[in-house]
Amino acid sequence: MREFTVRSAILDFDPYTPGMTIEQIQERYGLSEVIKLASNENPLGVSPIVQKVIAQNAAKAFRYPENHAPRLAGELSRQLGVPKGSIMVGNGSDEIIDMLIRMKAEPGRSNIVCYEHSFAMYEMCAKLAGVEYREVKRGEDYALPLDSMAEAADADTAMVIVTSPDNPTGLAASVEDLSVLAGVLPEDCLLVVDEAYIDFVWPPESYTPLQAYDKFENLVVLRTFSKAYGLAGLRVGYGVLPSKLAGYMKNARIPFTVNLLAEDAAVAALNDEVFYNETLQLVMRGREYFLEELPKLGCKVWPSQANFVMFQPTKPAGQVFKALLKKGIIVRPLASFGLGKCIRVNVGTDAENKTFIETLAEVLGG
């Protein structure tokens, strides 16, 4: 068989490994029912209004979408109060991360600063682009090390990336702390704030710098429709960034990356306030339930502003994960994040949350 060469960086590439699906678990363990609390998905599923919009527009699927999703960008501009030219819609916020790194950072010269035990996509995209990825150690109890990130940035730092609320801890950076960080970064350095879980913070005005977007010159905010809006399977997200940078990126991007039905669904989701508010109420109620019940089982729990909670069980995390799996409950062990003693569990429905706690009690007590 013929051998083909690839870039040296690709040879030792560690692929992103998603969690197992419900169908895979059912087949492996012979289960009829499985509760999935591993991927931070919307516990209510997809909005009925969005489902109707997708069905009504399905016949248009043979048409190409408008490039750059202008209808969705316009609706986002109206709701967020930022210029339409500063909004870039992507095939999930992952696409925006990838584009930012490839178009802002110079291979072999630039570096990107993040922190340890964070979302794998940042390092993957940097490595793929041939850009140095610098990881700063977290603070005590996995606190977000904003001061250390500022110290690690130099004249060749293309961007500093902060996930807030953070995955997998659920910790969030305040607007004040992010404002300070933005102000002390090198002149040509972006502050990229990944706000995939921003819908679940409370109070919201304390956490997102987007509310004062016009006061920043180097801010990029990333958001997604995969969590609060229940559209993870359609892959749609967006970035709010300096308009000149957005223009360069739009000029250089591959066309038609956001599909037509995803744009229709996202516009409908933005305007379905009932489903959105029901989601927030359910998630915040479930989050408080976890934060109250997990310590009763002897687990160490981190405060969370996301739709999930990170905890350290009283038995080895890998053992607990497998025991829960056999009983039909999927959670996320965090060894892949470098946090082998911890587990992440996302909020489900009230009934799913109760079943999880009862089953975890059996596993830890058995």
Instruction: Answer yes or no: do 136 and 283 share one domain.
Output: no
Average pLDDT in the chain: 94
Instruction: Answer yes or no: do 34 and 80 share one domain.
Output: no
Closest CA to 257 of 236, 232, 227: 236
d(CA 36, CA 43): 9
Return the pLDDT at 212.
Answer: 83
CATH number for the domain spanning 157: value is 3.40.640.10
**Structure-block tokens of residue 222:** 């990333």
Instruction: Answer yes or no: do 178 and 249 share one domain.
Output: yes
Give me the number of domains the chain comprises.
Answer: 2
Q: Which DSSP state fits 41?
A: -
Summarize pLDDT for 130-168 with one digit per residue, the tens. 999 999 999 999 999 999 999 999 999 999 999 999 999
Could you say which of 270, 304, 336 is where a domain stops? 270
Instruction: Answer yes or no: do 265 and 284 share one domain.
Output: no
Could you say which of 228, 251, 270 is where a domain stops? 270
Instruction: Answer yes or no: do 198 and 89 share one domain.
Output: yes
d(CA 106, CA 115): 20
Instruction: Answer yes or no: do 39 and 100 share one domain.
Output: no
**Residue partners of 342: CB distance under 8 A and separation at least 6:** 168, 310, 311, 312, 317, 333, 334
Residue 281, SS3? Answer: helix
190: β partners:
159
d(CA 292, CA 300): 11
Could you say which of 237, 270, 303 is where a domain stops? 270
Q: Is the pLDDT of residue 105 over 70?
A: yes
d(CA 324, CA 359): 7
Q: Are 29 and 328 within 8 A, CB to CB?
A: yes
Closest CA to 180 of 222, 140, 216: 216
Q: Is the pLDDT of residue 366 over 70?
A: no
- Pick the range with the lowest mean pLDDT from 25-34, 119-128, 294-303: 25-34
Average pLDDT rounded to a whole number, residues 22-48:
90
Instruction: Answer yes or no: do 209 and 253 share one domain.
Output: yes
Return the pLDDT at 19.
Answer: 67
Longest dimension (CA), the chain: 60
pLDDT band at 25 (very low <50, low <70, confident <90, very high): confident
Summarize pLDDT for 328-358 with one digit per residue, the tens. 999 999 998 999 999 999 999 999 999 999 9
Amino acid at site 129? A
Q: Look at residue 141 and tell me if it is in a domain.
A: yes
Q: Is the pLDDT of residue 16 over 90?
A: no
Return the pLDDT at 8.
Answer: 78
Pairs from 20-27 (Cβ < 8 Å, separation ≥ 24):
20/330, 22/330, 25/325, 25/328, 25/330
Average pLDDT rounded to a whole number, residues 76-87:
95
Average pLDDT rounded to a whole number, residues 15-23:
74
**Structure-block tokens of residue 250:** 């739009």
Instruction: Answer yes or no: do 177 and 83 share one domain.
Output: yes
344: β partners:
310, 332
- Pick the range with the lowest mean pLDDT from 1-10, 43-52, 56-65, 75-84: 1-10
Return the pLDDT at 37.
Answer: 95
Summarize pLDDT for 262-316 with one digit per residue, the tens. 999 999 999 999 999 999 999 999 999 999 999 999 999 999 999 999 999 999 9
d(CA 216, CA 233): 33
Q: Look at residue 2 and tell me if it is in a domain.
A: no
Q: What share of the chain is helix, strand, coil (3-state, %, to 5)?
A: 45, 15, 40
d(CA 92, CA 273): 21
Instruction: Answer yes or no: do 289 and 260 share one domain.
Output: no
**Structure-block tokens of residue 302:** 């981190």
Instruction: Answer yes or no: do 118 and 40 share one domain.
Output: no
**Structure-block tokens of residue 292:** 């109250």
**Structure-block tokens of residue 241:** 């960034």
Q: Is the pLDDT of residue 363 over 90?
A: yes
- To which residue do tokens 């994040």 refer? 337
Return the pLDDT at 353.
Answer: 98
Torsion of the alpha carbons at 125, 91, 219 and 216, rounded to the nearest 10: 170
Length of the chain: 366
Domain that holds residue 358: 8-46+274-365
Q: Are 216 and 178 within 8 A, CB to CB?
A: no
Summarize pLDDT for 188-240 with one digit per residue, the tens. 999 999 999 999 999 988 999 888 888 899 999 999 999 999 999 999 999 99
Amino acid at site 96? I
